[in-house]
Amino acid sequence: MLQISAVIPVFNEEESLPELTQWISRVMNDHGFAYEIIFVNDGSTDQSWEVITELSKKNGNVKALNFTRNYGKSAALDAGFAQAKGRVVVTLDADLQDSPDEIPDLYHMIEEQGYDVVSGWKKERHDPISKTIPSRFFNAVTRWISGINLHDFNCGLKAYRLKVVKNIRIYGEMHRYIPLLAKWSGFNKIGEKVVQHQARKYGYSKFGLERFLNGFLDLISVSFVHRYKKKPMHFFGSLGTLSFISGIFITVWLIIQKVYGLSKGIKVREVVDQPLFFLALVALIIGVQLFVTGFIAELMTSNQSKEKEYTIDEEINCLN
C-alpha cells in the first residue's frame, strides 16, 4: 500500500513544478517511502498542465487532474483527496514555499504518534507585513471561535490520516477549516508542527487581502451550517419565540396602560395610535414567519437530506 499521497493544487505555477517534483521525489526516495504525487491543475492559464504532462511521463509516481476552469483551492483539494490512496495524505502549495523536507516528520506524527491531522505552523514567515498582521488576527479569531489551538490555519502544508480526507467534504473556501471539519467528524487528535517557510522563488502570490474577509465569512458560515444543518428549528424557533414573546409583552403592556388610565380617569392615547403597537404587530408577524420557516426547513431536512450523519472509522468485510 502507498504510504504517502502528496496532493498539490496548481494555479499558474509552471516555473516551480519541475523543481517541486524533483524535491518531493528526492525526499521520498531518501526515506524509502512508497508515494504518489497528485497535481490538481485548477484552471491555470499558463503552461502548467503541459509541464505536469511532461513530468508524468518522466515520473510514474506523478498523477494529475485538470479542471476545465478555476474552481478554487477547496475544489482542487476535494478532487485530490478523492484520488488519494496513501495511508497519509500531505497537502502542499505548488509555489515552493512549503518544504517537502517536512513530509517525513509529518508522516511519523500521523503513523507513530497517532495524530489524525497535523497542521504546519509557519512561525517565521517570508511574507510582507501586509499579509502577516491580518493573518495573525485571522488565526486568533479562528482559534477563539473553533476551539482548536492552531497558530496557522492558512498553512498549506498539512498531513491527514487517509480516513480523515475520505470522510469530509470541502467546498467554497473551506480549505482553511479542514481541521475544524475533521474535528466535527470525530477526528479529535489534531496536532501542529513548526515548519520552514520558504521565500517565494517564482511568480507572485495569487491571494489578496480579500481572502481574510472571505475567511471570516466562511468561518461564520461553516459554524452556522454545522450547528443548525440538521436542526434548523432550533435556530429559527429560538428567534421566532423571542420575537413572538416580545410582541405579546408589548401588547399586554399597552392594554394594561390603557385600562389603568381609564380606571384613573387619565387620558391615554388610543392603543393603535402608539408606535409601540406597530412594533408589537411587526414582532408578532416576524415571530410567526420564523416559526413557519423553521417548520419548512425541518421538512426539507428530513425529506431531502442524503448526507451521512455518521463517520466510518474502520470497515470489515467478511466472506462468511
pLDDT of residue 99 exceeding 50, the answer is yes
Q: Is 293 helix (H, G, I), strand (E, B) or coil?
A: helix
Closest CA to 24 of 122, 78, 114, 93: 93
pLDDT band at 320 (very low <50, low <70, confident <90, very high): very low
pLDDT at 205 over 90: no
H/E element, 311: none
Q: What is the pLDDT of residues 162-192, one digit of tens each?
A: 999 999 888 777 788 889 889 888 898 999 9
The Cα–Cα gap between 79 and 73 comes to 10
At residue 319, the pLDDT reads 40
More confident residue, 223 or 236: 236
